[in-house]
A and B are shown apart, each in its own frame.
Chain A
Amino acid sequence: GAVVSQHPSWVICKSGTSVKIECRSLDFQATTMFWYRQFPKQSLMLMATSNEGSKATYEQGVEKDKFLINHASLTLSTLTVTSAHPEDSSFYICSARDWGLAQPNTGELFFGEGSRLTVL
């Protein structure tokens, strides 16, 4: 199946610093990528939809100035947590749908391995 790579897998930073997480689709082009946040023992919460070449679409309640998303190419989206605070500590996961040329064109969703952020 398609592969989505996420980096770093874990990061520890001091309060007030910014952290960038990268999400790459390795063998398919993704015009749209999705960023999720997951709290312990809870399901995934969609934060925003990253659109290649245009602004991201944020879900209600998600601060766009806190969570900056850039989708500069068809294979790379980045999430930057700006001025991170301890409450931003969480597991962040990216995903992308493969609307490839091969049939059947299923739009299957593939996930990265996730990035665990700990803000001290």
Chain B
Amino acid sequence: KQEVTQIPAALSVPEGENLVLNCSFTDSAIYNLQWFRQDPGKGLTSLLLIQSSQREQTSGRLNASLDKSSGRSTLYIAASQPGDSATYLCAASGTYKYIFGTGTRLKVLA
């Protein structure tokens, strides 16, 4: 049974810092690893998707890496801004359904 955990659970940083959010999964037989952002009271917005054959994906200030052998993915946020404040969730999927991590609540202070 796939289990996904995220560390840290919460993070508060000053504006401009570079951040690393961690995601671990127990079953390396994944199809995709996807990172999402959730603002309070809202649905989830897809940030980056890494297919099992890929090692990383980049979008703007975001970079996500995937190491299937160690069961880890990281989300790197460069030059953080107050607008990045949100909860970040990672999810690992087979071809059927996604299993979500517990999330990292990020607060970037101006």
Binding site for B on A (CB under 8 A): 1, 6, 32, 34, 41-44, 46, 49, 91, 93, 95, 104, 106-114, 116
Contacts and interface: CB of A to CB of B under 8 A. Distances in A.
A6 B7 CA distance: 30
A116 B97 contact: no
B46 interface: yes
Interface string B19-46: 0000000000001101010000111111
A64 to B, nearest CB: 17
Chain A binding surface SS class: strand
27 contacts: A32-B96, A34-B97, A34-B98, A41-B105, A43-B89, A43-B101, A44-B44, A46-B97, A49-B96, A49-B97, A91-B41, A93-B43, A104-B51, A106-B32, A106-B51, A107-B31, A107-B32, A107-B95, A108-B32, A108-B46, A109-B46, A110-B46, A111-B36, A111-B43, A111-B46, A114-B42, A116-B41
A106 B53 CA distance: 11
Given A32-B96, A34-B98, A107-B32, 15 more contacts: A34-B97, A43-B102, A44-B44, A91-B41, A95-B44, A107-B93, A109-B32, A109-B34, A109-B93, A111-B36, A111-B44, A113-B42, A114-B41, A114-B42, A116-B41
Interface SS of chain B: helix, strand, loop or mixed? strand
Bin chain B's interface residue count: 20 to 34
Interface in B64-110: 89, 91, 93, 95-98, 100-103, 105
B64 to A, nearest CB: 13
Contacts of B100: 43-44
A93 B41 CA distance: 11
Q: Report which residue of A1, A6, A32, A43 has the largest number of chain B beta carbons within 10 angstroms of its beta carbon.
A: A43
The listed residue with most A CB atoms (<10 A of its CB), out of B31, B44, B45, is B44
Contacts of A32: 96
Nearest to B44: A111
Nearest to A41: B105
Contact of A111 (B31, B45, B49): B45
Nearest to A93: B43
A59 B45 CA distance: 24
